[in-house]
């Protein structure tokens, strides 16, 4: 799928992010988690290092911390998801339009990615009713990609832009991970998730055309790799009270052992090796996952500075997180080749090669 034409490359010319109003500090989360789990998990204290070593200081939530631990139906959770997802996406759209000096009517296609709730009509249709998008705007809602959705969503936006040079494609991603929290689930996966996940939204504007008129990193190529017999590694269980997180196996160990082959193959088809990448934009699934990614790409410990900073300040916001890292990276005006990567349910690795030369 490599694109060798310099003129016909899709470029990212704006990136924006947004978070909800409630701040969750890790110290407060630990205290709240102890209140919820300790009565039913006698050895809950053994999870203390999970919170301390998660690399997370602050997260954001669309509901106050008191909401967690109370009973909530699937319907209540999903109503909150739709209300808050649309509200956050409106802010992202506004920021993207302000950056680009465009109006909603200038947007030709919407790609909207989310996996933490359900909406039919989809979120893009709801946005069209609230904002001045054209009635003929193309719509592509994407569900089920989990943490890989930011990178794969960017790839889908690039495909749309390449299919219609000059069209302005808006990628929007929103994940409200906190709404999926299950207070009655004392599994290790659910407890660990309370140390990692937060809420957030992000977006990007992509267009294909004359590089002299469109500035920003070019999306050179993209790829996905789904491993066999890996469906149990990550995903959702769906019950009467909502979505429940599934985290199985040793994900950092899986990454070290299995990611090098598809990552190398992706780079090789573009005539590159890991040493040719000037900057990595990695989805921060967790501190140990970042350690594993640094090993895979031959980086020094702690080299994924932007990913670790986003993890510290926002936690893991599933698909939106990679775009937070992209925004932070672009703010520093990087040059050269940039590699975006993320891992999500399937179990799938998503890659995107950018050229910021």
Helices (H), the chain: 26-37, 48-52, 74-100, 123-130, 149-163, 188-193, 251-258, 260-268, 287-296, 305-314, 321-330
Q: What is the pLDDT of residues 300-310, one digit of tens each?
A: 999 999 999 99
Q: Which CATH architecture has domain 218-355?
A: 3-Layer(aba) Sandwich (3.40)
Same topology between domain 10-208 and domain 218-355 = yes
Q: Kindly write down the DSSP assignment for every residue of 247-267, as one continuous string.
A: E-S-HHHHHHHHSHHHHHHHH
Fold held by 10-208:
Peroxisomal Thiolase; Chain A, domain 1 (3.40.47)
Q: How much helix, strand and coil, in percent to the nearest 5, is found in the chain?
A: 40, 25, 35
The Cα–Cα gap between 75 and 259 comes to 38
pLDDT at 2: 45
pLDDT over 90 at 186, yes or no: no
Average pLDDT over residues 188-215: 86
Q: What is the pLDDT of residues 11-59, one digit of tens each?
A: 999 999 999 999 999 999 999 988 888 888 888 888 888 888 889 999 9
pLDDT over 50 at 279, yes or no: yes
- The CA-based angle 330-93-316, given to 5 degrees, is 60
Indicate the domain borders of the chain.
10-208, 218-355
Q: What is the pTM of this model?
A: 0.93
Q: Determine which one of 147, 208, 279, 282 is catalytic.
A: 147
* Residue 147 annotated as catalytic: yes
Q: What is the pLDDT of residues 206-264, one digit of tens each?
A: 999 876 677 889 999 999 999 998 888 877 667 666 666 667 768 889 999 999 999 99
pLDDT at 3: 43
Phi-psi region of 55 (alpha: psi -120 to 50; beta: other; left: phi over 0): left
Sign of CA dihedral 162, 353, 214, 19: positive
Q: What is the pLDDT of residues 128-137, one digit of tens each?
A: 999 999 999 9
Q: Which of 227, 235, 300 is nearest to 262 (CA)?
A: 227
Identify the DSSP state of 15: E
Sign of CA dihedral 95, 99, 100, 101: positive
pLDDT at 244: 66
């Amino acid at each position: 799928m490599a694109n060798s034409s310099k003129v016909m490359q899709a470029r990212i010319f704006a990136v924006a992010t947004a978070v909800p109003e409630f701040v969750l500090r890790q110290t407060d989360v630990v205290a709240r988690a102890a209140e919820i789990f300790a009565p039913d998990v006698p050895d809950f204290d053994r999870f203390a290092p999970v919170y301390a070593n998660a690399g997370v200081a602050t997260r954001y939530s669309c509901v106050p911390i008191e909401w967690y631990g109370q009973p909530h139906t699937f319907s209540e959770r999903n109503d909150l998801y739709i209300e808050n997802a649309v509200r956050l996406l409106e802010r992202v759209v506004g920021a993207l339009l302000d950056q680009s000096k465009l109006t909603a009517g200038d947007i030709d296609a919407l790609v909207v990615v989310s996996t933490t709730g359900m909406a039919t009509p989809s979120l893009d249709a709801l946005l069209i009713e609230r904002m001045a998008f054209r009635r003929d705007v193309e719509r592509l809602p994407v569900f089920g990609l989990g943490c890989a959705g930011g990178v794969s969503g960017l790839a889908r936006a690039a495909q749309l832009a390449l299919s219609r040079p000059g069209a302005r494609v808006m990628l929007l991603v929103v994940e409200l991970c906190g709404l999926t929290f299950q207070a009655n689930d004392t599994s290790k996966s659910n407890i660990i998730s309370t140390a990692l996940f937060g809420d957030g939204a992000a977006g990007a504007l992509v267009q294909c055309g004359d590089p002299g008129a469109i500035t920003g990193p070019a999306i050179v190529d993209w790829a996905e790799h789904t491993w066999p017999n890996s469906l149990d590694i990550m995903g959702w269980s769906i019950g009467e009270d909502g979505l429940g997180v599934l985290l199985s196996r040793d994900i950092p160990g899986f990454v070290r052992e299995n990611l090098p082959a598809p990552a190398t193959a992706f780079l090789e088809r573009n005539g590159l090796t890991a040493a040719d990448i000037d900057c990595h934009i990695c989805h921060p699934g967790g501190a140990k996952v970042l350690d594993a990614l640094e090993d895979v790409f031959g980086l020094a410990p702690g080299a994924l500075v932007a990913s670790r900073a986003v993890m510290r300040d926002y936690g893991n916001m599933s698909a939106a997180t990679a775009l937070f890292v992209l925004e932070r990276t672009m703010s520093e005006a990087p040059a050269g080749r940039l590699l975006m990567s993320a891992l999500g349910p399937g179990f799938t690795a998503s890659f995107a090669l950018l050229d910021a030369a």
